[in-house]
Structure 1
Amino acid sequence: MHELAVAQALVEQVESVIDQHQASHAALIRVRIGPLAGVVPELLGSAFPLAAAGSRMEHAVLDLVAAPVRVHCQTCGAETEAAMNRLVCGTCGDWHTQIVSGDELLLESVELETVPT
């Protein structure tokens, strides 16, 4: 399951954020996942507790936010939502498009907690 490797990389990245901000642990981790990212959100959600066990984010809530597929039309210039298997312009119907959103796997935010001194 490749989602376990993604979860382990996420734990490493969040550990770095915790260190950088001298926090005690993470309480909320928000990740934006597009349907074209190659990651199944449900599997990542299941793998995360295994990867986070014993870490400073062991009890953190993992919030997985779905990113829509959006394309920019090279013909008419419109930016519209598109279906995962139909990347055509929603305005003119042309297929000359570039993906603007929907292929990302992004650590969007981390809510940290500190221990009062």
Structure 2
Amino acid sequence: MHEMSICESILGVIEAQAVAQSFRKVRWVRLEIGPLAGVETEALRFSFDVVTRGSLAEGAALEIIAPPVTAWCMLCAEAVEVSQRFDPCPKCGSHQVQITGGDELRIKDMEVD
């Protein structure tokens, strides 16, 4: 389950920021996880609770934002939304589509004390 190691990395970033910005407690964390990031969100939620026990993020609410999968169609030169990799362009039907978003995995923001 790589979600556990992702949460350990998230906690590492939070702890580094706590030192740099002098905060002691995290109230909530908002993550941006695209549908193509390869992350199981329920496993991530469970892992976040386990990994943050005894840390400054213990009990912090976890919000997950799922941005749409976006792509650039090389044939019609349009930015489009698709459902998954290898989908055709919804405007012209071309398969010459390059994914431009939807594979994000980042800490968007957090509230701290």
Report the TM-score range of the alignment, normalised by the length of the smaller protein: over 0.9
Q: Structure 2 length as normaliser, TM-score? A: 0.93
User: Any conservation in 2 of the 1:14–1:110 contact (CA below 8 Å)?
Assistant: no
User: Any conservation in 1 of the 2:86–2:97 contact (CA below 8 Å)?
Assistant: no
CA RMSD, Structure 1 to Structure 2 (Å): 1.2
Instruction: Give the whole-Å Cα distance in 1 for the aligned partners of 2:6 and 2:91.
Output: 36
Which consecutive residues of structure 2, in runs of 5 or more, have no partner in the other structure?
none
CA shift, 1:55, in A, is: 0.5
User: Any conservation in 2 of the 1:34–1:67 contact (CA below 8 Å)?
Assistant: yes
Partner of 1:87 in structure 2? 87
Instruction: Give the whole-Å Cα distance in 1 for the aligned partners of 2:53 and 2:87.
Output: 39
1:23 aligns with 2:23: yes
Partner of 2:100 in structure 1? 100
User: Any conservation in 1 of the 2:89–2:97 contact (CA below 8 Å)?
Assistant: yes
Q: What SS does the corresponding residue of 2:13 show, helix, strand or coil?
A: helix
Which consecutive residues of structure 1, in runs of 5 or more, have no partner in the other structure?
none
Q: For 1:99, give the aligned amino acid.
A: I
Instruction: Give the whole-Å Cα distance in 2 for the aligned partners of 1:47 and 1:37.
Output: 17
Aligned residues: 113
Q: For 2:80, give the aligned amino acid.
A: T
CA shift, 1:87, in A, is: 2.7
Q: Structure 1 length as normaliser, TM-score? A: 0.90
Write out per-residue CA displacement over residues 40-80 of structure 1, whole angstroms, 9 at most, x where no aligned residue: 11110111011101110002111111121111111111111
With 92-101 and 46-55 compared, the bigger mean Cα shift is at 92-101
